[in-house]
Amino acid sequence: MPSVSRVRSPEAGAAILIAASSGRALAGAARRAGFRPLAADFFDDLDTRSLCSRNHLVEGGLDRGFTGENLLPALNTLAEGEAPCGIVYGAGFEDRPELLELVGRRFPLLGNPPDVVRNVKDPARLSELCAALNIPHPEISASMPRERHHWLVKSTGGAGGSHVAPAGALRAAGEEIYFQRITAGKPVSILFVADGAKARIVGLSRQWAAPAPGEPFRFGGSLRPAGLASRLNGLLRCAAKAITAACGLRGLNSIDFLVEGGDYTLIEINPRPGATLDIFDDRGGALFRAHVESCRGRLPARRLAFGDAAAAGIAYARHEISSMPEFDWPSWTADRQKAYSEVRAHDPLCTIVARAAKPARARALLEARTNWILDQLEQV
């Protein structure tokens, strides 16, 4: 892959490639930072189009995922005549570092090198790393445990909650899986920028699930600030910094924990910008610029500060919609389903964002807006 020295500081207004399952949040962050986004994703949302200088719908969808055959031609098409300064990748590459190696031969990677992704997403290596750093981590197993009701099954290299199910759940033929012992606690995530050795903490957030048939841990939403006690807050920050130093993380990353009382357990490392961009967004683009610069080894000189509490969640369809109606979407929605598209029950309809002075108020406002959207669509 290109060395860090090849990743130059972009000039104002530089074109930048973005590849993610959904590119909207990254495209918005890049646009606020003064870049011209060129995005490849699986959704081609109308709001993604409005944010990008160019965008490309990648063939195959989420079921197939990114491959050399569907991604590289899309990136080449987007880059034609643009001379992009590099590529920022989001979700969709955790289980395919080999593809990142191919992309990195063509464009400078503004993110973790493929070997780092490979290491932190390998269940056995992560377990060994946590043991060496004295960071609590659930017991894992490569084979079905005897007392399966105490265990979960996960996809190796998976991201988000949709790949997690009780042990014994049916999996796709040939899928690479492992088992993880169930741990008590509520989900908390820490977001940070890293320069390959040191980390600067951005903030902590709480998450929750929106269960669906066959997906009991499907991602529902997130809320900041997390409101943890000072001691626990400090423990999670120390864990993130120790993981960064041990793994050589770069750019924006997050780590998922379960917290119970004053205890915590590390569940997963996400070696790329993630779902909490919607609650850690900033109008001046400082967060995205921090990602780009930290990939070059330059952490932000000052702590990144955010204002009021924020919550973001996904509104999932209650019922099947044979043809999505034309709808006057409120300004606090994003990732909106296109008119006339077919929507299955439990499919995502849009992302909803809410801000308020206090976290509880932001969460309540998010729930009220979600119910309003779903009620309005049912009436239409």
First vs last C-alpha separation in the chain: 51
From the list 95, 67, 20, the residue with the least C-alpha distance to 252 is 20
- The HSE-up count of residue 141 (CA atoms within 13 Å, CB side) is 15
Measuring CA to CA, how many Å separate 206 from each of 163, 189, 191, 223, 231? 19, 6, 11, 5, 17
**Rounded to an integer, what is the distance from CA 323 to the centroid of its chain?**
29
Measure the CA–CA gap between 155 and 177, rounded to whole angstroms.
Answer: 4
Q: Judging by DSSP bridges, how do beta strands 250-260 and 263-270 pair with one another?
A: antiparallel
- For residue 374, name the pLDDT band (cuts at 50, 70, 90): very high
Q: Where are the domains of the chain?
A: 4-110, 118-295, 309-379
pLDDT tens digits, 53-106: 999 999 988 889 999 999 999 999 999 999 999 999 999 999 999 999 999 999
Phi, psi dihedral angles at 103 (to 5 degrees): -65, -40
- How much is the pTM? 0.94
Looking up tokens 């265990």 gives 151
pLDDT tens digits, 11-51: 778 999 999 999 999 999 999 999 999 999 999 888 899 99
CATH 3.30.930.10 matches 118-295 = no
Report pLDDT for 316. 97
Report pLDDT for 5. 41
User: What is the rounded average pLDDT for all residues in the chain?
Assistant: 93
CATH of span 4-110: 3.40.50.20
